[in-house]
Structure 1
């Protein structure tokens, strides 16, 4: 079920909204509209659904409209036209048209927000900052402090409870912001570039922590970022925005493999594909392997071959006539313990980073097997194609 359903939403800032919407319908650009009416189009005809428990990343360059759309979800930006439905129990509330009391209920019970600049109260202790929203809800001091301590423990800051924000590092302050949002027990978290002001190492660490927390808490998260590598790392789905419009929405791997516009392709060309691609995306199909004397040739230079029976099952393998041991690898197994000369069989869904590590440790291609049948291999050529950005096709249609 969708936790957030955004349907043909426009967000226009200014005094001549009806005129600006009419111009938008006529195909006028943002620049033409601002020159004619003085209004700024923040979001244009956005439609997207965010399912329960997923992390959807809105991304694009500065001014693309991603933060304008995010802030519309909790009513910080007014919707000029369209529906913006947010789940509240068994019903959906239209944030665009609900009354003030309903909006207050949604903000205090269903939606929490984590800001880029932490937004901590400098005169309050860490624990009081985390408990602030609970105070606004009318929770007793004892209960809200206990709840705040529970969330500080979750983000590893319980020992800092009596410190003040200026005594904490930037990464620690952002953890306090996360704890404050989680303390509200909201089903939906809105995160507006929460890690962008941090050093790269701290930023990567907090991304990992967010993924770990999400696995435990299963919130619905709408996350704004201008960094595609970050989006690929944490996102279940990604919506890329340009000039106030959503131009592509899909799973990370789909966006990397099939960018729909030159704008998206330019983003993809500068990303690290190892963070998102799997073996299935890049493998050489078994049907494309050369067959010599009934054997599939993996590497003609050292005569590495495999024998496959009529059902597609791998039976034996050899290199230069000497038998190679076969090993079935599963996610989580320690790759460091693998020996050179071991021919590894894995699922086509093996992450590319793991596949490259296996290739490095064993010195051999990786066999990919599905439903007990050999379906393809990963060799150096496949890895090079990924690293050189030759793995995607541009569908400009």
Structure 2
């Protein structure tokens, strides 16, 4: 696997002369999961787009760099809030679309295995319109995992799933993305405390670290230390809302 770097983001972001966030000094550690939380509209999804070099509505003044000095975007896979499945392709075709767009031969065995692991083997020939929201999100997750990139940016990837399926997909993502540099945007304190090696709280004024249990992720849902951290984080977010 290509080296998974540490990514640092320093600067501020303005929209129409209004400060959305910053100045911030944020580090996304190499080979670990960084979970990014904050109120709606503070710019969490914008940070993902800035890392990828995608167009945004405002102006970023600062720098985003990897510790090896190499470009970031071409080494990253991205799962947006919207599943972005192509409606004219079936599930199987959507999962391998990355290889197709690059003019490469897809690894169909890997694709089939991923589709099975996200629980969609019985729906492999269905088009997105015939799938539920949760199925579409799992298909998008399989497509993201199919890319096998060292940098992975996830924007609320489990939000449409029921509690049991969400836990299963968290387990799967943690397993298959081990050793990658992952930035996960989430509104769920339990998810962040379960998956995160580190948690960053984004606000208009900055990006601050949140203390996590000493245990390593992925943490069990009934882990007492995790539950205490989750409750404390939820209380903090409610006060800051």
TM over 0.5: yes
Number of matched residues?
Answer: 223
* 1:1-397 → structure 2 map (5 Å cutoff): 3-13=5-15, 38-77=16-55, 80-86=60-66, 91-93=68-70, 106-107=73-74, 110-140=75-105, 143-215=106-178, 218-243=179-204, 245-246=206-207, 248-253=208-213, 275=223, 277=225
Work out the CA distance in 2 between the residues paired with 1:4 and 1:387. 26
Q: CA RMSD in A?
A: 3.1
Q: Tell me the residue number matched to 2:238.
A: none
> Which secondary structure state, in structure 1, belongs to the residue aligned with residue 69 of structure 2?
strand
Larger relative contact order (Cα-Cα within 8 Å, sequence gap ≥ 6):
2
- What TM-score does the superposition give when structure 1 sets the normalisation length? 0.49
- Could you tell me whether the CA contact under 8 Å between 1:124 and 1:164 is conserved in 2? yes
The alpha carbon displacement at 1:3 in A equals: 1.9
- Structure 1 window deviating more from structure 2 (44-53 vs 117-126): it is 44-53
The alpha carbon displacement at 1:51 in A equals: 2.2
User: Which of structures 1 and 2 has the bigger CA Rg?
Assistant: 1
Work out the CA distance in 2 between the residues paired with 1:154 and 1:253. 29
The alpha carbon displacement at 1:70 in A equals: 1.9
- Could you tell me whether the CA contact under 8 Å between 1:155 and 1:179 is conserved in 2? yes
The verdict on how the C-alpha distance between 1:219 and 1:94 changes in structure 2, with shifts beyond 3 A counting, is closer
- Could you tell me whether the CA contact under 8 Å between 2:23 and 2:206 is conserved in 1? yes
